[in-house]
């Protein structure tokens, strides 16, 4: 990102307005300071004598020797006719001398006033060029050894030059930074040549020389005790009265060595302990002058300020790259850990290569493991919610048993999510952050402010705003005092902690040097600006919004979106909200900023960070992140900057798009390129940006919309994706029993260690009759990555193991999209279970009661327990992405309910109770089964049995109590159930 030159920065250096091409002098030449000697006092004495003679002696001598030169009365015609004598000329010369004296005296008064006040350039006395120059020299010489020497006027730096020629450019600089140039004034009193050399650099040195000596003010950034971290905008607003003057502070301090060895970079962040030289008109109790030996400042701070005042002269030699606020942490050897990106990235392991089975998956989702994991988890929750809501709607054949199968771009997006997702990394990140918060709370230590987190070779590095001491074990100090590091092996042993998420604003921006950067938007003291083409910016904004809305390391938050072309609300309706424009955003955020300030004050908290953990209520400190993709106007940008000045303390973050890249109040400035790079040169960042382009946005949103439980509630009941022939003629060649212990009939058991992999691969294919992408299969079997040749070798063994049908066609093939598909001759008991239920409720069983009863009974017999009941520990982790664990209990419950209703129609209550009991073995938490069991038991007429069942239900419910529907049903069937339950208890 090229460094821009703005009007604000130009004015702060005092550069001539018209000289736009002149180079900027970042490191003005130092002025050699000479101590005052005997000669200085002699010159001061003679200056005093000269001033005394000229100001007091001249009028006294004129009054004594000549008297009043003008006529005593009013002039007349006779007066003009008198003879001209020598006294006439003497009187005329006396008048001229009086006028010259008056002019010189006025010059002396003007110069003395300006010198004593130290504000601005002395006013010009009309027609008094040489006279005023003489007065200035005499006053300077006199005051040079006095107490006011340090506050001499800036105009003294131009001694030896034409007053008219040198005053104009200095005025603008002096008005911006009054009371400066004291060092040049002292040098000017001794040598005009040195002053002439300094005057040639005066315009570039205004900002720098302000802090070299005299009454220059300094501001020391304090640790975040009682308030949050400062920004240059906030400091300028507080001490200069206008936040837009933050660039003046930047110009005064840019590239100068700070006490911790780093430097301030443009639009960068400032750290506690840094020293900021302030413009001369800065005001405020937190400012200090250059301390002397008797100052009420610690010796260490005195030393730091004195060193800092001299550091500007070395800035150009040492460069300005040392003060970057975000740096890549030092990496451990990659062999020690499998990097989490290898799990999900298309460049590694099973996810790489140019195989024909690798096409069709969007790389944007493949290379974003944390985003993909969040989206996949949210999609699974949405689909489960749809199943449960549908289950409460009716008994029997209800809509929602089978979620719609994605097609086209949505199917490719789902496959990419399955391949790219790294839920283990999300779990470890969440557990590590919450564990750290719990440990610090237990030690009564505050949470450190974290600007960024890096995931590197499986390790977690937190980059702190300032050193925060030794981290609690197993955390360790990283490459310096501002890095806390947790190894992956230690994170895996971290216990779960019941505490609020400490850093919910962390969001992935991209990768750099095999490290993934997560920026804490909530903690950045100011606005994060993003420039670039509109489409590229939108892809970054969409990625950030999607991850914030679905991530696994945040409890809850509000994400406000403005200027997005695609509605992302379906991803998380409870978190995401869209506003129509910037006006609505400003109105909303101004109100919320006031509200949060009041809430913090009422709670006695310094910031949301200190109030989020410990004894504070968790729900009070949820973050609010604003993503503004639209370009704000200049006026709106200033209002945003004012809101963002205090935003980090309030838990509010701003990411704002800009076309020009120049945004007031921007703490970080970033740019996204058409090549997919996220650049922030002044921060030392060049990332491979994490993007969510428009096509992938639409595909992901389609997945969530299709899973919406409120969508088309009256729609037709979906048909299972795969129905089998349940007659004797439809006996399969290969039959796998998945509901219960895993068994395979029709195939020889493979030999060796590959048997478990082959069984797991077959189970995955059986649960996805629509087909499985080879990359999805490889990602499921090898979550940490695998090479392409190993994947292909397994697929070949799987084909050989499954064999071919009698007609010679292989039982494992690939469809037109490259997905692996099983032949119809390979069947699972889950396929049979679905087919039996579908035929009983929507097929032949609809018209034949006897057929319906037989089909439902056969289906219930197939249920032998939970899915893959004996699966080995550590395998089949891909089941966490599936909803079969929710589908199967609902399906079993539906079968039990349908069979119970079948028996109750003929008053066979015991048969109904038997069917419901069998279903409860696989779906013990289904409220519908228990309510139907109450009805069936009531049908027996045995009140004691019904009372005992009610007591059992009460015991099972525990402290939660019975569901309201169950209580209402018991009130209807057994009004005295409460007394009976108490008696049984």
Q: What is the pLDDT of residues 889-941, one digit of tens each?
A: 889 999 999 999 999 999 999 999 999 999 998 888 888 999 999 999 999 99
pLDDT of residue 751: 80
pLDDT of residue 194: 38
pLDDT of residue 270: 72
Distance CA 457, CA 220 (A): 37
DSSP string, 865-924: SSBTTTPPTT--GGGGG-SHHHHHHHHHHHHHHHHHHHHHTTT-HHHHHHHHHHHHHH-T
154-158, 369-373, 525-529, 706-710: segment of lowest average pLDDT: 154-158
pLDDT bin (cut points 50, 70, 90) of residue 803 is very high
pLDDT digits (tens, 9 = 90+) for 14-60: 333 333 333 333 333 333 334 456 666 777 788 888 888 888 887 77
The answer, as to whether pTM is greater than 0.75, is no
pLDDT of residue 210: 40
Average pLDDT on 253-268 reads: 72
Provide the greatest CA pair distance for the chain: 154
pLDDT of residue 6: 37
Task: Report which of 9, 10, 6, 14 is spatially closest to residue 174, judged by C-alpha positions.
Answer: 14
Around 782, how many Cα atoms within 13 Å sit in the side-chain half-sphere? 21
871: CB partners within 8 A, 6+ apart: 742
Residue 587 above 70 pLDDT? yes
427 vs 110, residue with greater confidence: 427
Task: Report which of 688, 321, 330, 269 is spatially closest to residue 520, judged by C-alpha positions.
Answer: 269
447 vs 88, residue with greater confidence: 447
Average pLDDT on 953-958 reads: 86
949 vs 116, residue with greater confidence: 949
pLDDT of residue 761: 95
Around 446, how many Cα atoms within 13 Å sit in the side-chain half-sphere? 20
Residue 370 above 70 pLDDT? yes
Residue 758 phi/psi, 5° resolution? -65, -40
Residue 16 phi/psi, 5° resolution? -60, 140
Around 802, how many Cα atoms within 13 Å sit in the side-chain half-sphere? 31
pLDDT bin (cut points 50, 70, 90) of residue 550 is very high
Q: How many CB atoms lie within 10 A of CB 797?
A: 16
Mean pLDDT of the chain: 76
Distance CA 871, CA 166 (A): 88
pLDDT bin (cut points 50, 70, 90) of residue 135 is confident
CA angle 694, 700, 704 (to 5 degrees): 140
DSSP string, 955-971: HHHGGG---HHHHHHHH
Residue 475 above 60 pLDDT? yes
pLDDT digits (tens, 9 = 90+) for 815-827: 888 899 999 999 9
Stated length of the chain: 985
pLDDT of residue 15: 37
- The Cα-based distances of 127 to 99, 105, 285, 547, 685 in angstroms read 12, 13, 43, 72, 59
Q: Are 926 and 896 in contact (CB under 8 A)?
A: no
Q: Which DSSP state fits 847? A: T
pLDDT of residue 620: 57
Distance CA 209, CA 801 (A): 83
pLDDT of residue 331: 59
pLDDT of residue 400: 45
DSSP string, 749-765: PPPSTHHHHHHHHHHHH
pLDDT of residue 155: 29
DSSP string, 633-681: PHHHHHHHHHHHTTHHHHTEEEEEEESSS--TTEEEEEEE-TTSEEEEG
Locate all alpha helices (DSSP H) within 551-633, ordered by sequence. Answer: 582-603, 608-612
3-state secondary structure of 460: strand
Distance CA 639, CA 647 (A): 13
Distance CA 434, CA 502 (A): 6
β-pairing, 576-579 vs 558-562, is: parallel
pLDDT of residue 117: 54
- The Cα-based distances of 703 to 108, 277, 411, 415 in angstroms read 83, 55, 8, 11
pLDDT bin (cut points 50, 70, 90) of residue 314 is very low
- Rounded to a whole number of angstroms, the distance between the first and last alpha carbons of the chain is 75
Residue 875 above 80 pLDDT? yes
Highest mean pLDDT among 49-58, 235-244, 396-405, 442-451: 442-451
401 vs 807, residue with greater confidence: 807
pLDDT of residue 83: 64
Distance CA 898, CA 852 (A): 9
CA angle 655, 6, 172 (to 5 degrees): 135
pLDDT of residue 853: 93
Locate all alpha helices (DSSP H) within 213-273, ordered by sequence. Answer: 232-239, 246-253
Average pLDDT on 840-863 reads: 91
DSSP string, 770-783: T-B-HHHHHHHH-T
pLDDT of residue 183: 33
pLDDT of residue 690: 95
pLDDT of residue 151: 30
Average pLDDT on 562-582 reads: 87
646 vs 781, residue with greater confidence: 781
Query: How far is CA 105 from its chain centroid?
Result: 64
pLDDT bin (cut points 50, 70, 90) of residue 144 is low
Residue 102 above 60 pLDDT? yes
pLDDT bin (cut points 50, 70, 90) of residue 230 is low
Distance CA 205, CA 29 (A): 8
pLDDT of residue 139: 77
Around 215, how many Cα atoms within 13 Å sit in the side-chain half-sphere? 19
β-pairing, 677-680 vs 666-672, is: antiparallel
pLDDT digits (tens, 9 = 90+) for 728-767: 787 899 999 999 999 999 999 888 778 899 999 999 999 9
Distance CA 576, CA 566 (A): 13
Residue 475 phi/psi, 5° resolution? -70, 150
Distance CA 399, CA 393 (A): 9
State both tokens at 130. Answer: 């040489």
Task: Report which of 314, 215, 299 is spatially closest to residue 263, judged by C-alpha positions.
Answer: 314
pLDDT of residue 138: 79
783 vs 261, residue with greater confidence: 783
900 vs 151, residue with greater confidence: 900
pLDDT bin (cut points 50, 70, 90) of residue 836 is very high
773: CB partners within 8 A, 6+ apart: 357, 360, 361, 415, 418, 419, 817, 818, 819, 820
Around 162, how many Cα atoms within 13 Å sit in the side-chain half-sphere? 4
513: CB partners within 8 A, 6+ apart: 328, 331
DSSP string, 391-443: HTT-SSS-TTSSPPPP-HHHHHHHHHHHHH--HHHHHHHHHHHHHHHHHHHHT
Distance CA 53, CA 43 (A): 15
pLDDT of residue 802: 95
Average pLDDT on 822-850 reads: 92
pLDDT of residue 613: 62
Distance CA 724, CA 826 (A): 10
Average pLDDT on 157-162 reads: 31
- In the chain, the percentage of residues whose pLDDT exceeds 70 is 73
866: CB partners within 8 A, 6+ apart: 739, 740, 888, 922
Average pLDDT on 432-437 reads: 92
- In the chain, the percentage of residues whose pLDDT exceeds 90 is 31
pLDDT digits (tens, 9 = 90+) for 63-75: 777 776 665 555 5
pLDDT of residue 188: 34
pLDDT of residue 132: 73
Beta bridge partners of 669: 529
Q: Are 726 and 827 in contact (CB under 8 A)?
A: no
184 vs 768, residue with greater confidence: 768
């Amino acid at each position: 990102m090229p460094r821009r030159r703005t009007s604000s920065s130009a004015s702060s250096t005092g550069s001539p307005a018209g000289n736009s091409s002149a180079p900027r002098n970042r490191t003005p030449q130092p002025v050699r300071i000479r101590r005052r000697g005997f000669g200085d006092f002699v010159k001061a004495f003679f200056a005093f004598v000269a001033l005394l003679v000229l100001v007091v002696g001249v009028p006294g001598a004129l009054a004594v020797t000549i008297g009043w030169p003008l006529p005593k009365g009013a002039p007349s015609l006779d007066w003009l006719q008198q003879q001209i004598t020598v006294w006439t000329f003497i009187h005329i010369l006396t008048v001229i001398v009086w006028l010259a004296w008056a002019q010189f005296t006025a010059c002396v008064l003007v110069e003395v006033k300006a010198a004593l006040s130290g504000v601005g350039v002395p006013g010009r006395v009309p027609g008094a060029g040489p006279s005023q120059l003489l007065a200035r020299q005499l006053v300077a010489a006199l005051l040079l050894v006095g107490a006011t020497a340090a506050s001499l006027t800036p105009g003294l730096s131009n001694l030896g030059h034409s007053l008219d020629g040198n005053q104009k450019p200095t005025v603008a600089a002096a008005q911006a930074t009054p009371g400066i140039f004291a060092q040049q004034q002292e040098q000017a009193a001794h040598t005009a040549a040195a002053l002439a050399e300094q005057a040639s650099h005066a315009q570039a040195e205004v900002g720098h020389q302000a802090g070299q000596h005299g009454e220059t003010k300094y501001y020391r950034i304090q640790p975040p005790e009682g308030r949050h971290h400062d920004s240059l905008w906030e400091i300028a607003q507080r001490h200069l009265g206008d936040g837009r003057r933050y660039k003046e502070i930047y110009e005064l301090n840019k590239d100068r060595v700070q006490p911790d060895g780093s430097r301030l970079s443009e639009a960068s962040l400032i750290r506690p302990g840094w020293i900021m030289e302030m413009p001369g008109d800065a005001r405020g109790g937190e400012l200090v002058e250059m301390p002397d030996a008797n100052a009420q400042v610690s010796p260490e701070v005195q030393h730091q300020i004195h060193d800092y005042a001299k550091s500007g002269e070395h800035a150009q030699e040492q460069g300005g790259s040392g003060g970057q606020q975000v740096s890549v942490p030092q990496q451990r050897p990659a062999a020690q850990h499998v990097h989490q990106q290898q799990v999900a990235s298309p460049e590694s392991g099973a996810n790489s290569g140019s195989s024909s089975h690798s096409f069709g998956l969007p790389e944007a989702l493949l290379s974003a493991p944390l985003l993909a994991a969040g989206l996949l988890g949210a999609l699974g929750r949405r689909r489960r919610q749809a199943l449960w809501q549908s289950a409460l709607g009716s008994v029997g054949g209800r809509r929602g048993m089978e979620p719609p199968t994605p097609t086209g771009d949505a199917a490719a997006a789902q496959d990419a999510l399955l391949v790219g997702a790294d839920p283990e990394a999300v779990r470890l990140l969440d557990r590590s952050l919450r564990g750290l918060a719990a440990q610090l709370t237990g030690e009564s230590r505050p949470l450190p402010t974290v600007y960024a987190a890096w995931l590197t070779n499986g390790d977690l590095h937190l980059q702190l705003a300032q050193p925060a001491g030794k981290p609690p074990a197993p955390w360790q100090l990283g490459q310096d005092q501002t890095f806390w590091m947790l190894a992956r092996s230690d994170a895996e042993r971290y216990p779960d902690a019941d505490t609020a998420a400490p850093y919910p604003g962390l969001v992935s921006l991209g990768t750099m040097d095999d490290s993934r950067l997560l920026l804490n938007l909530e903690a950045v003291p100011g606005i994060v600006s993003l420039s670039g083409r509109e489409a590229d910016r939108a892809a970054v904004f969409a990625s950030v919004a999607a991850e914030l809305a679905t991530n696994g390391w945040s409890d809850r938050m509000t994400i406000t979106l403005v200027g997005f072309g695609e509605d992302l609300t379906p991803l998380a309706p409870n978190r995401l909200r869209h506003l129509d424009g910037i006006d609505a955003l400003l109105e909303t955020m101004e109100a919320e900023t006031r509200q949060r300030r009041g809430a913090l004050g009422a709670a006695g908290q310094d910031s949301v960070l200190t109030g989020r953990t410990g004894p504070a209520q968790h729900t009070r400190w949820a973050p609010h992140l604003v993503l503004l993709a639209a370009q704000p106007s200049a006026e709106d940008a200033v209002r945003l900057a004012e809101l963002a000045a205090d935003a980090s303390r309030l838990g509010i973050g701003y990411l704002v798009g800009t076309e020009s890249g120049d945004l007031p109040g921007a703490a970080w400035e970033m740019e996204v390129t058409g090549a997919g790079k996220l650049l922030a040169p002044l921060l030392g960042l060049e990332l491979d940006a994490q993007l969510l382009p428009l096509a992938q946005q639409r595909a992901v949103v389609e997945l969530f919309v299709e899973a919406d439980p409120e969508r088309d509630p009256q729609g037709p009941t979906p048909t299972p994706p795969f129905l089998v022939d349940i007659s004797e003629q439809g006996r399969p060649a290969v039959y796998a029993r998945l509901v219960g212990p895993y068994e395979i009939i029709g195939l020889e058991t493979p030999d060796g260690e590959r048997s478990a992999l082959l069984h797991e691969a077959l189970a995955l294919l059986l649960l996805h009759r629509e087909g499985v992408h080879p990359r999805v299969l490889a990602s499921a079997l090898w979550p940490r990555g695998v090479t392409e040749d190993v994947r292909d070798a397994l697929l070949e063994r799987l084909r050989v193991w499954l064999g071919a049908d009698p007609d010679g066609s292989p039982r494992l093939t690939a469809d037109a999209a490259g997905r692996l598909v099983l032949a119809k001759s390979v069947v699972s008991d889950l396929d049979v279970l679905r087919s039996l239920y579908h035929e009983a409720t929507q097929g032949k069983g609809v018209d034949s009661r006897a057929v319906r009863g037989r089909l439902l009974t056969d289906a219930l017999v197939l249920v032998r327990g939970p899915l893959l009941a004996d699966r080995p520990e550590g395998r089949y982790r891909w089941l966490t992405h599936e909803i079969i664990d929710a589908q199967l209990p609902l399906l079993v419950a539906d079968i039990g309910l349908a069979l119970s209703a079948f028996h109750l129609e003929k008053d066979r209550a015991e048969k109904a109770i038997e069917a419901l009991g069998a279903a409860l073995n696989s779906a013990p938490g289904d409220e519908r089964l228990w309510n139907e069991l109450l009805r069936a038991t009531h049908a027996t007429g045995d009140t004691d049995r019904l009372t005992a069942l009610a007591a059992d239900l009460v015991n099972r419910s525990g402290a939660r109590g019975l569901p309201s529907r169950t209580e209402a049903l018991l009130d209807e069937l057994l009004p005295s159930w409460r007394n009976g339950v108490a008696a049984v208890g």
